[in-house]
Amino acid sequence: MDTMSSGQTVTLGCTDNQQCGVSAGAAGSLVGRGVNRRQQSQCHECCSTDKCNKNLCSHLTPGTCIDDAKADCAYLNTFFDICQDIHHAKLVCPNFCKLCPLVDGNWARWSQWSPCDVTCENGTQTRTRTCTNPAPAQGGLDCIGSNISTISCSKELCPVHGGWTKWSSWDACSVTCGVGIERRHRNCSNPIPDRNGLPCFGDTLDDRICLPGPCANGGWTDWGQWSTCSVTCGDGLKSRSRTCTNPSPSPQGKYCDGDSLEVVSCRKSSCSPNIVFKAKNVTNRIPGNGGTVIFGSTIVNGGNAYNTSTGIFTAPVSGTYSFSIQLCAQSNTEMTADIIVDGTIYAALYVYDKDKNPCGSTDTAAVLHGQSNVFVKCTTGCTFTNIFQNRYYVNSFSGYLIHQ
């Protein structure tokens, strides 16, 4: 390094650490340094303070692992066990104490500053360094200080996003009775959007139903007309109704007290008895012309009005009745029969087996008085060989009361 001294350029050199001191009588000499030659890379500056001029020498520590010439390392170790104090021994007796591989850590260069950690307003930038120049080894000291450094950074002002104020109190209900609406509001001013900030999302108004009280309680209408009786005969029911619409109760109004429907019993004339019969299977296979055809079994005989012994139906009550007969004839034979009501022919039947259809039928209706007699009379062809019947071809006589 060149510097000016009394107008003269002086070249600062260096000397071995073992020979640090003043060179007496040497003109232009500096403490610990010779000035007659340039600094060499293998020589070392004599430094004893933190403020030593680092530009005077490339190295602050000896380049070779040698013990201090002024120290008796064996003697010091015998009496003071100097080798146990590694970080003092490495400066005085490194070779004797076998501390030459020891390396104290030194910081590497700082990294580049990181980007600011915010996109707007005030943030922080950081940089880091590592204790790798060199890294501590063989018990050497770690680097002193922090491995991270921070500085403040500033960006442009942040956008201001809009915020809602608190909801106002509810306004008065829109009606004084019944059902109404009450309302409250808020504003997007807490804060007001600025610098491209987002607006508030949502509604500025809020409505709800309000019920300040009933406008009217309900009242009954007059009773309606009675309904017809639920039956056409015997005992039944009839009803009448009313509605709570005089007036209708308003919201929160009281509904009418009492029943909206009234039911009472009713009675019609006595119902017609259940009179119905169906008899089958001719038991007197030879009734003879003019004789009564007797059907010996019944499928149903409501009212027990048909006699299976005589073949006669006797009306229990007066009314309108319906009767029908079916007779089947043997192949290639003819047979005729009548439905007789109190001695009068009400229906006539002709039976002839044609195309394998041996059965024929007829029916009639009659208005009877109580104890009227109805039966089937065979008029022609009523012989054992002419009347035909089996499970598929059934001879039958039936009737029932239509109404009284």
Q: What is the mean pLDDT of residues 297-324?
A: 94
Asked if pLDDT for residue 9 goes beyond 50, the answer is no
Q: How many C-beta neighbours within 10 Å does residue 105 have?
A: 18
Verdict on whether the full-model pTM lies above 0.75: no
Query: What are the domain boundaries of the chain?
Result: 104-156, 217-271, 276-403
**Residue whose entry in the numeric block shows the structure tokens 């003819």:** 334
pLDDT score of 355: 67
pLDDT, tens digit, 9 for 90 and up, residues 95-150: 888 888 888 899 999 999 999 999 899 999 999 999 999 999 888 889 999 999 99
Which is nearest to 266 in space by CA: 232, 226, 229?
A: 229
Contact 105, 115 (CB under 8 A): no
Residue 402 CA to residue 196 CA, distance in Å, equals 94
CA distances from 294 to 25, 117, 275 (A): 178, 119, 19
pLDDT score of 332: 82
Q: Which fold has domain 276-403?
A: Jelly Rolls (2.60.120)
Q: Which fold has domain 104-156?
A: TSP-1 type 1 repeat (2.20.100)
Asked if pLDDT for residue 240 goes beyond 50, the answer is yes
**Which homologous superfamily is 217-271 in?**
Thrombospondin type-1 (TSP1) repeat (2.20.100.10)
pLDDT score of 61: 52
Kind of pairing, strands 122-128 and 148-154?
Answer: antiparallel
Domains 104-156 and 276-403 share a fold: no
